[in-house]
Copies of this chain bind each other. A is one copy, B any other.
Amino acid sequence: MASIIVLSGSPSATSKTAALSGHVGSRLRAKGHVVREFRVRDLPPAALLAADTADPAITEVIDAIAGADAVVVASPVYKAAYSGLLKALLDLLPQFALAGKAVLPLVTGGTPAHVLALDYALRPVLTSLGADHIVQGWFVLDKHITVDRAEVTLDPASLEPVRTAVDGFSEAVHARRPLAVAL
């Protein structure tokens, strides 16, 4: 059982990215992990953009990441890359905030033409944060994510690869904590 933070970087209140994050969080909980979700849009905008790490809400998310075993980072694709909102949070983290952690990158977008934003834009930033193990992530088409009240459903074409990604991530998290698993 590991502690996992899920960061969701969409500015939208009815975000497909947040829905996907919720879906992934549920699956990780079902596997026995302790999961805590943060939507970057819920953080105070002025403190976030000014990198005010003394703001209590900002401090809370920084501390939560520091104390976690692993992090899921989810973003919509805007202008061929991750959202500025997500990047604003990553910018104010300590330089090696992801050292010693496993990371699962996820992106959502309206067209398959944006798939490579995951590996060419998001992954290098996560690598620069010192992440030890960034597992294979996945790109999910917006139209494959359906939200009905609190219920999130994935199209079969995306459900299977997302499960594979989440399960691979869960195994990577376990592999990093061999003693705890053994006890």
Contact = CB atoms under 8 A, between A and B. Distances in A.
A158 interface: no
A85 B127 contact: no
Interface in A108-129: 111-117, 119-121, 123-125, 127-129
Interface string A110-152: 0111111101110111011110111110010000000000000
Given A136-B127, A175-B175, A175-B176, A85 B120 contact: no
A120 B112 contact: no
A46 B82 CA distance: 19
Given A127-B136, A132-B136, A168-B132, A84 B81 contact: no
The quantity of this chain's copies bound in the complex is: 4
A176 B128 CA distance: 23
Interface stretch (A19-27, A29-37, A57-65, A87-95): A87-95
Contacts of A11: 49-51, 91
